[in-house]
Chains A and B, each alone.
Chain A
Amino acid sequence: MKKIQYREWGIEAPRYWGLLAVLGAIIAVAGFAVLHMEHEGHWVTGMNNQIVWGTPHVFAIFLIVAASGALNVASISSVFDQKLYKPLARLSGLLAMTLLVGGLLVLVLDLGQPARLIVAMTTYNFKSIFAWNVLLYVGFLGIVAVYLFTMMERKANSYTKGVGVVAFVWRLILTTGTGSIFGFLVARQGYDAALLAPMFIIMSFAYGLAIYLLVLMFTFNSEGRALGDKILGRLKSLLGIFVSAILYFVLVYHLTNLYGTENHEYEAFILLNGGVYTATFWVGWVLLGMLVPMAILFHPALGNSRGGIVAASLLVILGGLAAMYVIVIGGQAFPMPIFPDKIILESGFHDGVAGAPLYYSPSLPELLLGIGGVTVALTVTLVAVRMLKFLPASLADEVVDPHHG
């Protein structure tokens, strides 16, 4: 078995530094937005006492979910012994760490008291899934760092499988914990569903892989590194399967909800008359986020074209953000059923008068914070692949599978 060669990302220096300058500028602007939010308080955002988690959380939860899914490629090679994926494993581990850091950064900087992060890391209420998530997220970073070490240090290669199994199980627990943030809430009609935990797991598979594909194609194409159809074909087929699985979970969630009369108002809100939430669900999540990518990826010609794969991956990511918007914000916008057999005529604290959804409008500081987190993740990834040997030197068909006919 020929030894896999890895090489640092080698695009020309001016392009590299130019790219970093642009990314750095975005991060700087996001940084100013964060300072503004922290200094003034959350009144500068669109979040209020009715919609308490907004656009930053949409991005943060998306990044955290994608982070755990990005590790899939490495898991397939280490845990499930698929040799074809072995050259891809290092980038997979790297992305898992950078996406998670990006997501956590957004979450922490949105806190009302971000300076109290040390309190969050030292004072725990272990009945709270949030408390467990703090430990799971930080532990994940440590475990993936060790995982990467076993892959990159030749003398530690024998430990890759063992650590890989630990990392794989850990990320399943982590994503279950992320889905359970919502799944454990009895208060709200759209949450309080055990299904949300496995749904988040299957979402992580798709979103992580979509981001992985885009980063892989970008780094390879920009440098002219060989990226064969064989490996891309495997990855894009996987993506198609994962997206189909999300569709299945979405169907089960809504069809089950529709069966029970008590959920009919909530389902009508999401599926029919919820305005922006309904539009985001059908157009963003279902059509662009699942049906169109599936059509592309399973199409014999489109699914095998580079352009098709890029388009499908971008749409899956868009669909993921739309899904988070519907879940996180739509779930809060629907008024709580405090008086189920009555209609609210007036309220001194915005309780959904006449069943109207609670008001939220995304604001610029929130959007910048979310984009800042994505940019940090991307920047750290690009710096890492430039400095260290994360990327395989070639993924041409003959290199990836010499026995291929």
Chain B
Amino acid sequence: MSVAGKAAAAAAIAPGVFLHTMGNAAPRAEAVTDDVRYGMLIDTSKCADGCSDCVSACDQENGMDLLIKPQGASDEDWARQKPRWIRTVKVQDNLTGKVTSLPMLCQHCEHPPCVDVCPTGASFRRADGLVLVDRHTCIGCRYCMMACPYKARSFIHENVQLQRTAVPRGKGCVESCTFCVHRLDHGGSTTACQDACTHDAIVFGDLKDPDSRISKALAEHSSTQLRADLKLNTGVRYRGI
């Protein structure tokens, strides 16, 4: 399923089937700089209970829907071992009893513990704020998975038959949400989860651009980091939690 499209959108060509394309531009010509910092604001009050559109979109965009349970594995084991970059979590406040749904993903911290602990430097933070894994250097030790305070990373436990050319993966390496870097590096500016969310709960953009939708939204209402006491300065912020 290789892609060589020109349009910038993910067009639905049949129910549940998306024609995925990358951005319309050529790959970046210059190195990324820290003039941009990508981030995300999640408004949990808009996240609908029972909805997992962001999860399905991410699975499709990043090739996780192509992974099949290894023959001989139980369904429960596969559920625990298959990768997941974004997940929905439903929580209830201990005091008020209020129930909130929210998507949980890699927080793209400014001071990522996963980058600190990676012995080979495969887990790294790009200048524009994306925290990624260099799959050439990853030795699969899973120390980053131990270190991540958000349990955002996944390990590939099985041989991979089908994958998207834009999102390569292999057995024995660790991966997590890339903020759809393959789109961003080809002229795109949105993530699959943001595009898929019909409730407008996910806003993605440039935190350093004061005119971006996310910056304005952050300025307008208060938001918080998860596990703020760790002082990681996450790129993902939550409102309503």
Q: Are B92 and A41 in contact (CB under 8 A)?
A: no
Q: How far is the CA of A15 from the CA of B241 in the complex (A)?
A: 69
* Inter-chain contacts of A124 with B (CB < 8 A): 119-121
Binds A, one of B10-18, B170-178, B211-219: B170-178
Q: Knowing A43-B158, A52-B155 touch, does A116 contact B90 (C-beta < 8 A)?
A: no
Q: Are A130 and B117 in contact (CB under 8 A)?
A: yes
Question: B104 interface residue, CB < 8 Å from A?
Answer: yes
* Inter-chain contacts of B143 with A (CB < 8 A): 128, 130, 181
* Inter-chain contacts of A112 with B (CB < 8 A): 138-142, 155-156, 171-174
User: Per-position contact with A for B163-197: 1 when CB-CB < 8 Å, else 0?
Assistant: 00000000111100000000000000000000000
**B71 to nearest A CB, angstroms?**
10
Q: Are A41 and B90 in contact (CB under 8 A)?
A: no
Our pick among A111, A131, A345 for the contact of B99 (Cβ within 8 Å) is: A345
Q: Are B70 and A49 in contact (CB under 8 A)?
A: no
Q: Are B172 and A41 in contact (CB under 8 A)?
A: yes
Q: Are A349 and B87 in contact (CB under 8 A)?
A: yes
Interface residue ranges of A341-375 to B (CB < 8 Å) = 341-351, 359
Question: A42 interface residue, CB < 8 Å from B?
Answer: yes
**B138 to nearest A CB, angstroms?**
7
Q: How far is the CA of A123 from the CA of B148 in the complex (A)?
A: 22
Q: Are B173 and A53 in contact (CB under 8 A)?
A: no
> Per DSSP, are chain B's interface residues mostly helix, strand or loop, or mixed?
loop
Question: B94 interface residue, CB < 8 Å from A?
Answer: yes
Q: How far is the CA of A105 from the CA of B128 in the complex (A)?
A: 38
Question: A40 interface residue, CB < 8 Å from B?
Answer: yes
**A249 to nearest B CB, angstroms?**
22
Q: Knowing A112-B155, A119-B137 touch, does A346 contact B88 (C-beta < 8 A)?
A: yes
Q: Knowing A120-B119, A343-B94 touch, does A42 contact B89 (C-beta < 8 A)?
A: no
Q: Knowing A338-B150, A347-B89, A359-B80 touch, does A120 contact B139 (C-beta < 8 A)?
A: yes
> Per DSSP, are chain A's interface residues mostly helix, strand or loop, or mixed?
loop
* Inter-chain contacts of B141 with A (CB < 8 A): 111-112, 120, 130
Q: Are B120 and A349 in contact (CB under 8 A)?
A: no
Question: B45 interface residue, CB < 8 Å from A?
Answer: no
Q: Are B140 and A113 in contact (CB under 8 A)?
A: yes
Question: A188 interface residue, CB < 8 Å from B?
Answer: yes
Instruction: Select from chain B the residue with minimum beta-carbon distance to A134.
Output: B119
Q: Are B173 and A342 in contact (CB under 8 A)?
A: no
Q: Are B121 and A185 in contact (CB under 8 A)?
A: no
Q: How far is the CA of A134 from the CA of B148 in the complex (A)?
A: 21
Interface residue ranges of A111-129 to B (CB < 8 Å) = 111-114, 116-117, 119-120, 123-125, 127-129
Q: Knowing A123-B121, A124-B121 touch, does A346 contact B156 (C-beta < 8 A)?
A: no
Q: Are A113 and B173 in contact (CB under 8 A)?
A: yes
Q: Are A111 and B88 in contact (CB under 8 A)?
A: no
**B27 to nearest A CB, angstroms?**
25
* Inter-chain contacts of A53 with B (CB < 8 A): 142, 146
Q: How large is the interface on A (under 10, 10 to 19, 20 to 34, 35 or more residues)?
A: 35 or more
Q: Are B119 and A345 in contact (CB under 8 A)?
A: no
* Inter-chain contacts of B120 with A (CB < 8 A): 119-120, 123-125, 131
Instruction: Select from chain B the residue with minimum beta-carbon distance to A132.
Output: B119
**B169 to nearest A CB, angstroms?**
12
* Inter-chain contacts of A48 with B (CB < 8 A): 77, 80-81, 157
Q: Are A127 and B89 in contact (CB under 8 A)?
A: no
Q: Knowing A42-B155, A186-B149 touch, does A338 contact B227 (C-beta < 8 A)?
A: yes
Most buried by A among B77, B104, B119, B157: B119
**B82 to nearest A CB, angstroms?**
8
Our pick among A50, A111, A117, A338 for the contact of B226 (Cβ within 8 Å) is: A338
Most buried by B among A111, A113, A130, A343: A113
Interface residue count on the B side (C-beta < 8 Å): 62
**A133 to nearest B CB, angstroms?**
8
Instruction: Select from chain B the residue with minimum beta-carbon distance to A346.
Output: B90
Question: B118 interface residue, CB < 8 Å from A?
Answer: yes
Interface residue ranges of A190-226 to B (CB < 8 Å) = none
Q: How far is the CA of A52 from the CA of B157 in the complex (A)?
A: 11
**B199 to nearest A CB, angstroms?**
17
Our pick among A43, A181, A345, A351 for the contact of B104 (Cβ within 8 Å) is: A351
Question: A25 interface residue, CB < 8 Å from B?
Answer: no
Q: Are A40 and B159 in contact (CB under 8 A)?
A: yes
* Inter-chain contacts of B149 with A (CB < 8 A): 186-187, 336, 338
**B121 to nearest A CB, angstroms?**
4
Question: A259 interface residue, CB < 8 Å from B?
Answer: no
Q: Are B145 and A111 in contact (CB under 8 A)?
A: no
Question: A332 interface residue, CB < 8 Å from B?
Answer: yes
Q: Are A113 and B172 in contact (CB under 8 A)?
A: yes
Question: A184 interface residue, CB < 8 Å from B?
Answer: yes
**A209 to nearest B CB, angstroms?**
29
**A387 to nearest B CB, angstroms?**
34
* Inter-chain contacts of B172 with A (CB < 8 A): 41-42, 111-113
* Inter-chain contacts of B205 with A (CB < 8 A): none
Q: How far is the CA of A53 from the CA of B143 in the complex (A)?
A: 9
Question: B83 interface residue, CB < 8 Å from A?
Answer: yes
Question: B1 interface residue, CB < 8 Å from A?
Answer: no
Q: How far is the CA of A188 from the CA of B79 in the complex (A)?
A: 23
Question: B8 interface residue, CB < 8 Å from A?
Answer: no
A-B contact list, 6 entries, CB within 8 Å: A41-B171, A112-B138, A112-B142, A112-B174, A343-B92, A351-B89
Taking beta carbons and an 8 Å cutoff, which residues of B are in contact with A?
52, 55, 70, 72-73, 77-84, 87-95, 99-100, 104, 113, 115-121, 137-143, 145-151, 153-159, 171-174, 226-227, 230, 241
* Known contacts A116-B140, A349-B87; 9 further A-B pairs (Cβ under 8 A): A111-B141, A112-B173, A114-B139, A120-B119, A124-B120, A134-B119, A185-B117, A336-B151, A338-B150
Interface pairs A-B: 4 shortest CB-CB: A112-B140, A112-B172, A348-B87, A130-B119
